[in-house]
Structure 1
Amino acid sequence: MSFTYKRLDKDDVALLMVDHQSGLLSLARDFNPDEFKNNVLALADIAKFFNIPTILTTSFEDGPNGPMVPELKEAFPEAPYIPRPGQINAWDNPDFVDAIKATGKKQLLIAGVVTEVCVAFPVLSALEEGYEVFVVTDASGTFNQVTRDAAWNRMSQAGAQLMTWFAVGGELHRDWRNDIEGFGGLLASHLPAYSNLMQSYSQQATT
């Protein structure tokens, strides 16, 4: 059986940030809190760096789920913001789907909390609608590794590609010659080891 490598295309992809809310974040235990927050913000920085259309949505934010974390609203002040009044599956909200269609993009990057519900449900719905879907695994969180793995299996078996924020950045960038300092600086701001690498590169470049 032949395989087609479907790459992320920075000109044909939109980012959906689903339910990164203050209350729900307390449920994400498959990453430590600092690591998870860094992953989410790294994905946001990648979207800004490549000018990826981004849509933010929350679920029942007036209830225990709480508001969206302020860093994301600050990162995307002009992005469509869809506070769903009750729909658990974001795809069941017409305003959310309309915002996606308005981008005109055929590929969707999706991250959220919790993985087996807030991510998996719209992922499966988007796949059914014919979108190419890429799940950002380390910017999505849930209760534990068992529930996470079950969600990953369900989505990948349906046709979603599972990625990390670092892989998303690399696949969008394609070629280091496009922007060494800019892209390298983005990685360095979220990965201490990469910061060391960029410092070494900068020293070599000036000698």
Structure 2
Amino acid sequence: MACVNPPVRVLVVDDDALVRAGLTMMLDGAAGIAVVGEADDGDGASAAVDAHAPDVVLMDLRMPRVDGITATRRLRARPRPPEVIVLTTFDTDENILHALRAGASGFLLKDTPPARIVEAVRQVVAGEPILSPQITRRLMDRAAVQAGAYARAKATLAVLSPREHDVVVEIGQGLNNAEIAAALDMTLATVKSHVSHILTKLDLGNRTQIALLAHDAGLA
């Protein structure tokens, strides 16, 4: 009998009931994805994660009581955190940067085509960030010029082995695991192992934060 992978479990967090309904309808209609719950603000997100154990949370930014940045930070601090995709109408540099620093795996606007949102859900579960190259470059340039960012980043990366350092450089360039394996003449399994060790050593939550650190250090 063929083995069937379980669906990707998604939680939708938004204070607009119509937006939640639209996202739920869209995602539930996609193969391999199931919306397992909803919350109407960041305060309810933690309880909803406890109740439904999602793999991915679609998180609005501006909500009553607890905003999406605070809720993202709380969720990503859990022992087994879900991936978080911020989905909002507000695309200022400050909002995007705060979301990524809080541990979000990506940032999309609410007018993103449905197929792209579905792709993003699958992509973050596979461990890949979901920022467009234009947004990535804009934010990395901003992060790199912040006072003291360069020195702090260089000191942080000093704990890595030379090969782990090489992997950080490639992640900063936006390469996925397969592309890094080809560029550095490694097996895919070795790359995945290095990425895992980097995240542990640097106490980071995802690849996007590695990329931010690489740009802070002037490596990409």
TM range (shorter): 0.3 to 0.5
- Higher RCO (CA-CA < 8 Å; seq separation 6+): 1
TM-score between both structures, scaled by the size of structure 1: 0.36
TM-score between both structures, scaled by the size of structure 2: 0.35
